[in-house]
Amino acid sequence: MSDLNMTTTYHNNPGLWADFWQEAIQEGVRRGPMNPGFWNHMAGKYERNKDLKRESERLETIFNLLKSTGIKLDGARVLDIGGGTGALAIPLAKSGARVTVVDFSEGMLQKLKERAQKEQVPIERTILSSWDAIDLEKEGFKKQFDIVLASMTPAVRTPDDFRLMLEASKGVCYYSGWVKRKWSPEYYELYRDLFHEEHRDGTHGIYLPFMYLYMLGYQPDIVLKQDEWQSEETLDEIVETVSGFFGVTKHIDEDKKTKIREYFARKTDNGVYHSKTMVTTGMMVWDMRKNCNRDQTSVL
């Protein structure tokens, strides 16, 4: 193969991978976690089910990753995409960062504002919007942020969402996502009862943006972390949670919701359902100023 053909092949890699990424996800689905109503429902449970030790360890890992790039948090302009109730935004603001949060859930942003007020932490700006609806030029976001974050959020799901994230950064980016997630056994049993088939955990996504970055010429540092997540939910809450997650790929009508309620009514203890989920997550950070193959940035 000639040098010219090799150059053309390498240049096409990011675009071809983006095509594969697009095919690997279920584009167009706006149910369950892809719908703001789901997160409005979830907003009230976040603080109640927070494991303080696990959260402290997670924050330490994230801050160490960010600092490993040489970025200074104090005074940094930060964009938190899908920032929710402020799990990252508030600690970063406490470190002196000027934080803007974008989230499509009004309930999540309300919890963020309440927490920021309670802890007397200034959040520079909050924007109620889905990330894919943001106009970077109009908002003045293009290449304006020292740090851009997308942490365990459905807001950055597609190649276009991810490219938009890269275009907002003039410095460092942080992204985290699923590697593996194993629900409580009840989820799988109920799924079989409802749909007469096995629930497939599916392909989780962090390898998709990781490979895309690699083909663009970036070399992200990545950390994998395994945890057991425990939560407590009322009967109403677990019905909405399961309906939302199942609803990503299945139609959940009122009859299905009734069956979900009847199932979990038998599983609750004094009206509370206790669940355990085994999760493996990936956290990665990279510097947009350090590209091993500069000509590939033209595909952004």
Which stretch of DSSP H or E encloses residue 80?
strand 77-81
pLDDT tens-place values along the chain, 300 residues long: 444 444 444 568 899 999 988 888 764 455 555 555 555 556 566 666 566 788 899 999 999 999 999 999 999 999 999 999 999 999 999 999 999 999 999 988 999 999 999 999 999 999 999 999 999 999 999 999 999 999 999 899 899 999 999 999 999 999 999 898 888 899 999 999 999 999 877 655 799 999 999 999 999 999 999 988 888 889 998 998 899 888 878 889 999 999 999 999 999 999 899 988 898 999 999 999 998 765 544 446
Residue 148's domain comprises 3-183+202-230+282-288
- Which spans in the chain are helix H? 3-24, 36-46, 52-68, 89-94, 106-118, 136-139, 159-168, 185-195, 207-216, 235-246, 254-265
CA-derived radius of gyration, the chain: 20
Q: How far apart are CA 113 and CA 119, in angstroms?
A: 10
26, part of any domain: yes
Q: Domain count for the chain, please give it.
A: 1
How is residue 43 written in tokens?
A: 């907003």
Q: How far apart are CA 49 and CA 205, in angstroms?
A: 25
Per-residue confidence (pLDDT) for residue 4, from 0 to 100? 40
Q: How far apart are CA 122 and CA 99, in angstroms?
A: 8
Number of CB atoms found within 10 A of residue 22's CB? 13
How far is residue 267 from each of residues 59, 188, 236, 239, measured CA to CA in Å? 33, 14, 13, 12
171, part of any domain: yes
Number of CB atoms found within 10 A of residue 162's CB? 22
Per-residue confidence (pLDDT) for residue 199, from 0 to 100? 86
- The label of the residue with tokens 């390898």 reads 207
Q: How far apart are CA 189 and CA 186, in angstroms?
A: 5
244, part of any domain: no
Residues 77 and 143 sit within 8 Å (Cβ to Cβ): no
179, part of any domain: yes
CATH of the domain at 133: 3.40.50.150
263, part of any domain: no
61, part of any domain: yes
Considering the entire predicted model, what is its pTM? 0.85
Per-residue confidence (pLDDT) for residue 292, from 0 to 100? 76
34, part of any domain: yes
DSSP state of 297: G
Which stretch of DSSP H or E encloses residue 283?
strand 272-287
130, part of any domain: yes
Per-residue confidence (pLDDT) for residue 205, from 0 to 100? 76
Q: How far apart are CA 239 and CA 273, in angstroms?
A: 10
Per-residue confidence (pLDDT) for residue 300, from 0 to 100? 60
